[in-house]
Amino acid sequence: MRSTRAAAVGAVTLSLALAATACGGGSSTGGGSDDSPKTLTYWASNQGASIAVDKKVLQPELDRFQKQTGIKVKLEVVPWSDLLNRILAATTSGQGPDVLNIGNTWSASLQATGAFLPWDAKNFGKIGGKDRFVDSALGSTGAQGKDPAAVPLYSMAYALYYNKKIFADAGISKPPATWDELVADGKKIKAKGKSVLGAEGANVSENIHHVFVFAKQQGADFFTPDGKPDFTNPKVVDAVKSYVDLMAKDKVIPTGDAEYAQNQSVSDFAKGKQAMLLWQSAASNLKSQGMSEDAYGIAPVPVRSGTPGAGAQVDSMVAGINIAVFKNSHNLDGAVKFVKFMTSDTEQKTLNEAYTSIPPVKSAQSDAAFNTPATAVLKQTLATSAAALPQVPSESQFETTVGTAVKELFADAAAGRAITTDSVRAKLEKAQQQMPAA
């Protein structure tokens, strides 16, 4: 009895002391070590049709790694809705996994927290060198001029998926190469009673990916070269407006899509309700929904005129997943070994094939699995016409504020309110003012 009470009093004193000294993330300042060389914890992002599918894909590979190195990897597949919060929690507390997947667009934001092992020449050397990776993928691993915070793992790009049968019925012989063509084709498709193009209007990240490309095509950027937000730049306003106008004015995106946030537009496409879809690596997704590979074609995302390329001809963001090492890992050496394993040619082939993504590793790309007509478009896009989202520390805030602005604009458009240059500028102005001052 007495000892419990003592313990209780001790606990209070302790917690009071902690509060008073206001110490932060505990051991997080200390950095990593090699204390437990036999185990690793790995947080994988949800890439497959479900968490169960991911486990099925990854577990055999982890077993292979254990056979090679004797290191046991504890796998947790984290759903996207939780991933960023979990990473933040891990960063704040210093207690997290050893190795983890991150959305590549978060690289610069997470880099700023200083929680990840920087990939300097020495560390890159341990996994075979920086030049094993494709340039476009490396462009989305952290702020320019700093050592990357993560290493590319899977690459993806946007493409235009179109339903061959709907196109044939509507008398359209080839997929649209420009937005004007897409709108014109839309009229024919609507005449056949199908909807034209899908969008995830309430999905903040999807919105960002698209308006980013629209801005690029206008020759504009959301950030100035020195990293300051520039959302009200007239060209940016124009770009955002023309994306929302696909619903508001051109009426190719159905108004119902304004509330989509859980990939319902992919289902609409898979079910043959809708003729086109702009998506990254949708093949495995469509297959799991029972759409056969012959039923749809894949073409580059439209541009304003001409063909996709650099500069104003950009037609996709560099999408993908990076793999990062948590600085606080108690098995830094093993963690780097694991990254080496995951980016090895064999694993790159197996994993990217399973997830129908493109390997960011050059030598793995040449494999026959990535030379099908479907992947050829994605590979081509990544190599020539994809641009990385701004690599600035406030990128994640940018996604939230501008993505929400676009969501609200879609809601307005769906409710039948006019979308004008002024209304778009007003939303973007608000978004810009919510960005951190620094």
Smallest gap from residue 73 Cβ to other proteins (A): 14
120 near other proteins (CB under 8 A):
no
From CA 276, how far away is CA 269, in angstroms rounded? 7
From CA 394, how far away is CA 108, in angstroms rounded? 8
289 near other proteins (CB under 8 A):
yes
Is the Cβ of residue 15 or residue 420 nearer to other proteins in the bound state?
Answer: 15
Is the Cβ of residue 18 or residue 191 nearer to other proteins in the bound state?
Answer: 18
**Coil, strand, or helix at residue 384?**
helix
**333 contact partners, CB below 8 Å, separation of at least 6:** 34, 37
263 backbone dihedrals φ, ψ, rounded to 5°: 65, 25
Smallest gap from residue 305 Cβ to other proteins (A): 33
Near other proteins by CB under 8 A, which window of 26-34, 127-135, 180-188, 301-309?
26-34
Near other proteins by CB under 8 A, which window of 93-101, 140-148, 156-164, 358-366?
93-101
Is the Cβ of residue 270 or residue 335 nearer to other proteins in the bound state?
Answer: 270
From CA 173, how far away is CA 175, in angstroms rounded? 7
Candidates 62, 6, 37, 24; CA nearest to 329 is 37
Residue among 169, 221, 230, 259 that touches other proteins (CB under 8 A): 259
* Cβ count near 67 (within 10 Å): 8
Near other proteins by CB under 8 A, which window of 81-89, 313-321, 329-337, 339-347?
81-89
From CA 117, how far away is CA 324, in angstroms rounded? 7
Smallest gap from residue 330 Cβ to other proteins (A): 13
Quickly tell me which residue has 């040449």 as its tokens.
366
**Coil, strand, or helix at residue 316?**
strand
Contact positions with other proteins (CB under 8 A) in 192-251: 201-202, 204
Is the Cβ of residue 257 or residue 315 nearer to other proteins in the bound state?
Answer: 257
Q: What share of the chain is helix, strand, coil (3-state, %, to 5)?
A: 50, 15, 35
Contact positions with other proteins (CB under 8 A) in 379-408: 393, 396-397, 400-401, 403-404, 407-408
Instruction: Give me the 342-381 binding string for other proteins, x by CB under 8 A, dash otherwise.
Output: ----------------------------------------
267 near other proteins (CB under 8 A):
yes
Is the Cβ of residue 263 or residue 352 nearer to other proteins in the bound state?
Answer: 263
Residue among 242, 285, 348, 381 that touches other proteins (CB under 8 A): 285
- Are 395 and 105 in contact by the 8 Å Cβ rule? The answer is yes
426 near other proteins (CB under 8 A):
no
From CA 397, how far away is CA 234, in angstroms rounded? 21
Residue among 36, 68, 224, 262 that touches other proteins (CB under 8 A): 262
418 near other proteins (CB under 8 A):
no
Residue 255: is it exposed, middle or buried by C-beta count within 10 angstroms (0-12/13-18/19+)?
middle
Q: What single-letter DSSP state applies at residue 320?
A: E
From CA 314, how far away is CA 100, in angstroms rounded? 30
From CA 1, how far away is CA 105, in angstroms rounded? 55
Residue among 70, 79, 219, 234 that touches other proteins (CB under 8 A): 79
Residue among 47, 101, 105, 109 that touches other proteins (CB under 8 A): 109
Near other proteins by CB under 8 A, which window of 82-90, 139-147, 216-224, 233-241?
82-90
Is the Cβ of residue 21 or residue 173 nearer to other proteins in the bound state?
Answer: 21
Smallest gap from residue 428 Cβ to other proteins (A): 11
Helices (H) and strands (E) in the chain, counts: 18, 11
From CA 161, how far away is CA 282, in angstroms rounded? 8
412 near other proteins (CB under 8 A):
yes
9 near other proteins (CB under 8 A):
yes
